[in-house]
Amino acid sequence: MDIEAIQKAYRRYARRYDLYFGALFQPGRKAVIERMGCMPGEHILEVGVGTGLSLPLYPSRVHVTGIDISAEMLERARARKERAGLDGTIELRVMDAEHLEFADNSFDKVVAMYVASVVPHPVRLVSEMRRVCKPGGEFFIVNHFHSANLLVGGVESMLAPLSRLLGFRPDFPLDRFVEETGLEVVASQPVNLFGYWTLLRARNNKEALPRIGAGEGARLRGVPLGGLEAGKVASKG
């Protein structure tokens, strides 16, 4: 996976994304925002906001910034925002999730819905989420992970070579994702049809990173260490 492949895939999806994935993924979107417990005045970052299907679900009096790498998807999000009469507390920007253009500690909560298996480098994604989120803040991640079911998992592995065409990695492993990103997961639950997707709630443990060993800290910040570790990171893209 690379940025060009992602942009190309979602340029194709943009026009019919709501038809294909709107109703299918909406229970997961609702579950995320319910679990977030947004409070008035909080600043929320939604990474990979897509066509903005989640935007009407946020409570009023919270500040939501939605970013997406696809200008075509974001164009539809802006149209949805206008149709819904959503006020100025929602901002939409074209941006690379692995290179966020925000200062450290800018957000109370960061949410990434159906993004982790799309970006080229998931470790960098979480590293950037950690950076822009306040210490002790929370991450909410919804994603499909490689199925433990032998039949389903086998199909996902067979589809893996088509990742560039699909626009995501169908064989994305949960345990490896959590291990390599250093996520401090406090809760998880299945969501959407047949519980095929997983909602992770994690605490922003950035204040613990200086107490981690030098090599481990670099890995959690998304810095390839060379050799085997670099191979691990590269293999995720």
Phi, psi at 52, each rounded to 5°: 80, 25
Domain count within the chain: 1
Q: What is the pLDDT of residues 41-78, one digit of tens each?
A: 999 999 999 999 999 999 989 999 999 999 998 999 99
Give the CATH number, domain containing residue 128: 3.40.50.150
pLDDT at 170: 53
pTM over 0.85: no
Retrieve residue 54's tokens. 């989640």
Residues in the chain with pLDDT values less than 50: 162, 211-237
pLDDT at 233: 28
Domain holding 52, by residue range, is 3-235
Bridge partners of residue 138, in order along the sequence: 109, 203
pLDDT at 176: 86
Would you say 114 and 25 are in contact if contact means Cβ atoms under 8 Å apart? yes
* Beta-strand relationship, 107-113 and 133-144: parallel
